[in-house]
């Protein structure tokens, strides 16, 4: 005996509308009728299936508008001012960005560690203590790495459609766009420093293996293969920052901190390459100071990446904002100039971090060109300044091609 498919909420609504039509003939001509559905259900076909999936033939031609997603929850609740590196390296400051839940908890006298534990449990969709088996599950590992190295799904794969829905429902990913046909959603991980801090601490587990996770995602066809070179580059940078931070402060559990540019590059490159880098001179000014002297007082703060749609958005003001978040910037996939940009702050190392003010005039950047094709050449460094006249040109910058 055939069983009737379970009714969706749209089926129930259509049934009610049919009853209204039977009781009040002509009501649809005389009445403007609308229904607004608020839902956090990521399985959209359970809420509003496509026309071909509506069980009632009377309403099979019903045309529904595309679902509206509300994204701009990222409100910086603290008044922007002259922040110091010590001030921005606290959980309270990180909670000022992103969804308001965690900042609100701390402003209402819930301890930062307690709020961070809640963030970890929500990212993992599991209760603490979080075991290695939980952290290395495909969905949990993808959620953590997406927060830090910006992973994009391989487009329109059947496996990624289900996983995208699950990540939104269970692992704090954000739905960006829901097409009118409702067959899939486009999701991602925006810059939320508090959640990034939680992800970084979870990934610090000795049993968490980033490379193993990326290889598994590739075998399961979850990633866009065209992004492989860029993903490797971002992974190396994040791993280098983490390693340099552990070397500087072995007891720290706070990843939104700082490391010197020299220590960052030492962790990024083999010893012989690093030795050549710090002894080099600027190719535009061969008589200028050597690299080591030029960047002795420069620090970097890199915990995650986000993508910008246009290169001209990379201004000195936005580079400062990125440093406050601990955020690296990724160029759009179609641009050819740079792939990643990491903010640099020049400070007075003779003073304490509580006196290092994050000012626009003290900002610079590491601009990296990461491609998986040997034929891709690094464009002239002047192109970056030509495309971004508002960048700070008073400080030295670093260009890398790999």
274-307: per-residue pLDDT in tens?
A: 999 999 998 778 889 999 999 999 999 999 999 8
Q: Residue 356 has what pLDDT?
A: 97
**Strand ranges for 76-160 from DSSP E:** none
Check if the beta carbon of residue 235 is closer than 8 Å to that of residue 214: yes
Q: Which residues, in sequence order, are CB contacts of 128 under 8 Å at separation 6+?
A: 117, 120, 121
Assigned token pair, 142: 């993808």
Q: Residue 344 has what pLDDT?
A: 96
Q: How confident is the model at residue 1 (pLDDT cuts 50, 70, 90)?
A: very low
3-state secondary structure of 369: strand
Which span out of 21-25, 111-115, 355-359 was modeled with the highest average pLDDT? Answer: 355-359
User: Residue 170 class from Cβ within 10 Å (0-12 exposed, 13-18 middle, 19+ buried)?
Assistant: middle
pTM over 0.95? The answer is no
Q: How many residues does the chain have?
A: 402
Specify the range with the lowest mean pLDDT, choosing from 29-43, 97-111, 211-225, 244-258.
Answer: 29-43
User: Which position has the higher pLDDT, 265 or 223?
Assistant: 265
Residue 199: how many CB atoms within 10 A of its CB?
26
Specify the range with the lowest mean pLDDT, choosing from 44-58, 64-78, 79-93, 336-350.
Answer: 44-58
Long-range residue pairs from 47-50, CB within 8 A, at least 24 positions apart, any chain:
47/8, 47/9, 47/10, 48/8, 48/9, 48/10, 48/182, 49/8, 49/10, 49/182, 50/181, 50/182, 50/183
Distance between CA atoms of residues 168 and 151, nearest Å: 14
Q: Residue 284 has what pLDDT?
A: 77
Show the CA angle centred on residue 361, arms to residues 240 and 256, nearest 5°: 35
Q: Is the pLDDT of residue 2 over 50?
A: no
- DSSP assignment string, 113-136: HHHHHHHHHHHHTSPSS--HHHHT
Q: Residue 326 has what pLDDT?
A: 97
Averaged confidence pLDDT in the chain = 82
Q: How confident is the model at residue 164 (pLDDT cuts 50, 70, 90)?
A: confident
Check if the beta carbon of residue 379 is closer than 8 Å to that of residue 368: no
Distance between CA atoms of residues 328 and 342, nearest Å: 5
Assigned token pair, 305: 């990446």
Q: Residue 375 has what pLDDT?
A: 47
Mean pLDDT, residues 221-230 taken together: 81
Tokens 């009632």 found at: 56
pLDDT digits (tens, 9 = 90+) for 327-371: 999 987 666 667 889 999 999 999 999 999 999 999 999 988 776
Q: Is the pLDDT of residue 377 over 70?
A: no
Strands 298-300 and 259-260: antiparallel
Q: Is the pLDDT of residue 159 over 70?
A: no
Assigned token pair, 264: 């960052």
- Alpha-carbon distance values, 110 to 124, 129, 291 (Å): 21, 20, 45
User: Which position has the higher pLDDT, 60 or 237?
Assistant: 237
Q: Which residues, in sequence order, are CB contacts of 384 under 8 Å at separation 6+?
A: 337, 338, 367, 391, 399
Assigned token pair, 59: 């309403």
DSSP secondary structure letter of residue 254: -
- Alpha-carbon distance values, 17 to 66, 177, 311 (Å): 20, 28, 50
Q: Is the pLDDT of residue 143 over 90?
A: yes
Question: What is the H or E stretch that residue 398 is in?
Answer: strand 398-401
Assigned token pair, 242: 């983490």
Check if the beta carbon of residue 345 is closer than 8 Å to that of residue 391: no
Mean pLDDT, residues 203-208 taken together: 92
Q: Residue 60 has what pLDDT?
A: 53
Cα end-to-end span (Å), the chain: 63
Distance between CA atoms of residues 143 and 124, nearest Å: 8
Q: How confident is the model at residue 44 (pLDDT cuts 50, 70, 90)?
A: low
């Amino acid at each position: 005996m055939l069983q009737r498919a379970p009714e969706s909420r749209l089926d129930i609504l259509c049934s009610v509308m049919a009853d209204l039509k039977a009781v009040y003939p002509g009501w649809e001509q005389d009445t403007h009728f609308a229904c607004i559905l608020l839902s956090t259900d990521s399985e959209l076909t359970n809420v509003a299936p496509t026309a071909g999936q509506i069980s009632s033939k009377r309403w099979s031609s019903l045309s529904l508008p595309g679902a509206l997603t509300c994204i701009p929850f990222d409100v910086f609740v603290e008044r922007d001012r002259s922040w110091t590196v010590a001030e921005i390296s606290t959980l309270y400051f990180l909670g000022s960005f992103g969804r308001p839940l965690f900042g609100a908890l701390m402003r209402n006298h819930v301890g930062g560690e307690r709020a961070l534990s809640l963030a970890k449990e929500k990212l993992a969709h599991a209760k603490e203590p979080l075991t290695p088996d939980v952290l290395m599950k495909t969905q949990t590992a993808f959620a953590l790495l997406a927060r830090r190295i910006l992973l994009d799904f391989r487009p329109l794969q059947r496996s990624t459609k289900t996983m995208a829905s699950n990540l939104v429902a269970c692992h704090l990913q954000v739905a960006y766009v829901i097409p009118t046909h409702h067959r899939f959603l486009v999701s991602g991980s925006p810059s939320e420093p508090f959640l990034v801090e939680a992800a970084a601490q979870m990934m610090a587990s000795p049993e968490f293996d980033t490379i193993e996770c990326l290889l598994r995602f590739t075998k399961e066809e979850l990633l866009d293969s065209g992004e492989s070179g860029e993903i490797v580059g971002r992974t190396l940078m994040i791993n280098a920052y983490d390693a340099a931070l552990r070397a500087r402060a072995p007891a720290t559990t706070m990843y939104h901190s700082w490391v010197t540019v020299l220590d960052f590059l030492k962790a990024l490159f083999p010893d012989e390459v690093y030795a050549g880098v710090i002894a080099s001179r600027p190719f535009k000014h061969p008589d200028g100071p050597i690299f080591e002297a030029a960047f002795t007082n420069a620090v970097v703060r890199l915990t995650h990446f986000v993508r910008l749609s246009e290169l001209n958005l990379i201004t000195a003001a936005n580079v400062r904002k990125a440093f406050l978040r601990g955020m690296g910037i990724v160029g759009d996939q179609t641009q050819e100039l740079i792939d990643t940009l990491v903010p640099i702050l020049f400070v007075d190392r003779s003073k304490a971090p509580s006196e290092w003010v994050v000012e626009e005039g003290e900002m610079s950047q590491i601009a990296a060109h990461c491609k998986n094709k040997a034929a891709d050449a690094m464009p002239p460094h002047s192109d970056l300044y030509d495309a971004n006249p508002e960048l700070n040109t008073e400080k030295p910058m670093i260009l890398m091609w790999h």
